[in-house]
């Protein structure tokens, strides 16, 4: 099965919210390592984590993630 390609705007939205990676990680219930991997688009999150990140960034999920 082909690996899903999902683009995200996490870094852009996080920086706009003046949030650190650690703060975002804490708010979305994951580790800073995962946020780093997500920002580098080296990890595609589960649906529940994607919703948690969008919620932490106060953005609708479709603004944060989009299929490539």
Partner 1 sequence: MSLARKLAIISCAAWLTIGIASTLLIADSGLDGIASPSGDRTRSILAAIILPGYLIGFAIIWWTRNGQRAGEIDERDKKVESRATEIAATIVLLTIFLVSIGLYDAYIDRGGVPVGWLYIMAYGTIVWVSFLHPVLRLIIDFSGTIDG
Q: How far is the CB of 60 from partner 1 (least distance, A)?
A: 20
Q: Binding to partner 1 (CB under 8 A): which residues in 18-57?
A: 29-34, 37, 40, 42-46, 48-49
Q: How far is the CB of 58 from partner 1 (least distance, A)?
A: 21
- Encoded tokens for 8: 């995200």
Q: Closer CB to partner 1, residue 21 or residue 57? A: 21
The secondary structure of 3-64 as a DSSP string is PP-EEE-HHHHHHHTT--HHHHHHHHTS-HHHHHHHHTT--PPPHHHHHHHHHHTTS-HHHH
Given the rule CB under 8 A, which residues bind partner 1?
Answer: 3-4, 29-34, 37, 40, 42-46, 48-49
């Amino acid at each position: 099965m082909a690996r899903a390609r999902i683009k995200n705007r996490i870094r852009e939205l996080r920086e706009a919210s003046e949030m650190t990676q650690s703060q975002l990680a804490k708010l979305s219930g994951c580790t800073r390592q995962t946020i780093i991997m997500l920002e580098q688009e080296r990890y595609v999150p589960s649906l529940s984590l994607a919703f948690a990140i969008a919620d932490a960034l106060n953005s609708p999920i479709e603004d944060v993630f989009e299929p490539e």
